[in-house]
Amino acid sequence: MRTVAPSPARAARGAAPGTRATFTRVLVAEWTKLVSVRSNGWLALGTVVVAAVTAYGLGLFVRPDDGRSGSWVVTSGFVLAQIGFLVLGALVGTSEYTTGTARTTFATVPRRLPVLTAQALVTAVAASVTALLALAGSYLATAGTLGGDAPALDLSVPGAARALLGFVLACAAVALLGLGLGALLRRPADAIVGGIVLLVLGDQLLSRNPGRVTDTIRAFLPSSGVRLTQDDAAVAALDAATRGPQLGAWGGGAVVAAWVLVALGAAAYRLRRHDVR
């Protein structure tokens, strides 16, 4: 006699009420997975250190008459720290596939999308906390005598407070972009390299040939999110120098947010429509 095993979806629907995979339980499980991996903690710590050291190093070369503000010095670590946030998101997005637990996870949560949603939430929270620690570390590394001649942080400078908030938002956006690429490509190396091309290399290569076309392309790369971390004077200088669209600070934020939505949307589509291996 032939025995038919219940499908994962049917098994989940038939689970006892106390053992169902509710979204809260999925969220807790994803958070537990993120914080229980020791390398994620070291990655966050390394990102904080890189941001603080970069801000300290650049602050040594800034003088009061350079026209730079204290907020620029504090947030300048974003240039290198964004790589740490990208890697964090990519590792969260690919962890199910590199460890071979994807089949078990999605057999437990047959609808699949709650897993990706929970991963996005825990990644955003972890990235935001790390960004706040990076800001605190950068401030301490550039304040007082450590900062040399660098201007002190002055929140009355137009755009200074927004730049600090923008630093946290930009870091969270980069981590979510890494998550989207990781969940879409399912290989850490592919997601990290793709993210670096979009965030760093593409912008740097195009900046070597300034013009209306290249500046327009640069404006719509996710690297435009760096505008969130700069004060009003720095953003105005960028807009004055470009031959492409003048996005301002929040326009750059909208561009990187759109990239995050596209990456996560593509990952969600693949997750729903294709097999999980």
Burial 176-193 (b: 16+ CB within 10 A, else e): bbbbbbbbbbbbbeebbe
Q: How far is CA 125 from CA 16, 146, 172, 200, in A?
A: 31, 30, 8, 24
CB count in 10 Å sphere of residue 215:
17
Q: Residue 75's pLDDT is what?
A: 93
Please list the pLDDT of the chain residue by residue as tens digits (277 residues).
344 444 444 444 555 555 677 899 999 999 999 999 899 999 999 999 999 999 998 888 887 777 778 888 899 999 899 999 999 999 999 988 888 888 888 888 888 899 999 999 999 999 999 999 999 999 999 887 666 677 888 888 889 999 999 999 999 999 999 999 999 999 999 999 999 999 999 988 998 888 899 999 999 999 999 999 999 989 998 889 889 898 889 999 999 999 999 999 999 999 988 777 6
Residues 6+ apart with CB under 8 A from 173: 222, 225, 253, 256, 257, 260
Q: Residue 3's pLDDT is what?
A: 41
Residues 6+ apart with CB under 8 A from 182: 89, 90, 91, 92, 93, 94, 188, 191, 267
Q: What is the pTM (predicted TM-score) of this model?
A: 0.89
State the Cα–Cα distance between residues 265 and 263, nearest whole angstrom: 5
Tokens of 220: 């719509």
Nearest alpha-carbon partner for 40 in 93, 113, 112: 93
State the Cα–Cα distance between residues 76 and 56, nearest whole angstrom: 9
Residue with tokens 């729903």: 272
265-272 CB contacts, 8 Å cutoff, 24+ apart: 265/180, 266/180, 266/184, 267/93, 267/116, 267/179, 267/180, 267/181, 267/182, 267/183, 267/184, 268/113, 268/116, 268/183, 270/183, 270/184, 271/112, 271/113, 271/116, 271/183, 272/112, 272/113
Which amino acid is residue 243, in one-letter code? R
Q: Residue 16's pLDDT is what?
A: 56
